Amino acid sequence: MFTNILVGYDGSGYSERALGYAQDLALKYHAQIVIAYAFYPLPNALLGSPYSEKIQAHAIMAGEEIVNKARAKLAGTPVTIATELLEGPPAEALLRVAETRGCDLIVLGSRGMGTLKASLLGSVSDKVLHNATIPVLIVK
């Protein structure tokens, strides 16, 4: 039924549960898991500043740590794992990688960021759910 499952992962408890569901589905259907972490690009006001390269490097290092943590949680299972570190608004980045990787399911936690921030910016899971062309599983 599923062959290529995308998991949006940010290290939160919700994304941990989403990863667990994705693992169960991948084992059941012999599917690959693509673990994706997306981070916002630097605001234009910071581009070219003396600290912009350090800030960008820190964001990339933090993202690599997050996807490596998720990969380690799946170590020892017979699931094929790929990772994606994505720069851009998370919902758009996840939808883009789902398409380019040919994913047939997206699994997300119901929340990653705080409630206030999510209500101001709009929830990533809500945006993905309403714009995806493939099934989306949102895990509480």
CB crowding 110-120: b at 16 or more within 10 Å, else e = bbbbeeeebee
Give pTM, 2 decimals.
0.87
Predicted pLDDT of residue 120: 43
> Tens digit of pLDDT for each residue in 23-78?
999 999 999 999 999 988 766 555 566 677 777 788 899 999 999 999 999 999 99
Over residues 108-114, the mean pLDDT reads: 73
Can you give the pLDDT at residue 45?
53
Q: Which residue has the higher pLDDT, 113 or 87?
A: 87
Side-by-side strand order, sheet with 4-8:
81-87, 32-39, 4-8, 105-109, 136-139
Looking at the domain covering 4-139, what would its CATH class be? alpha beta
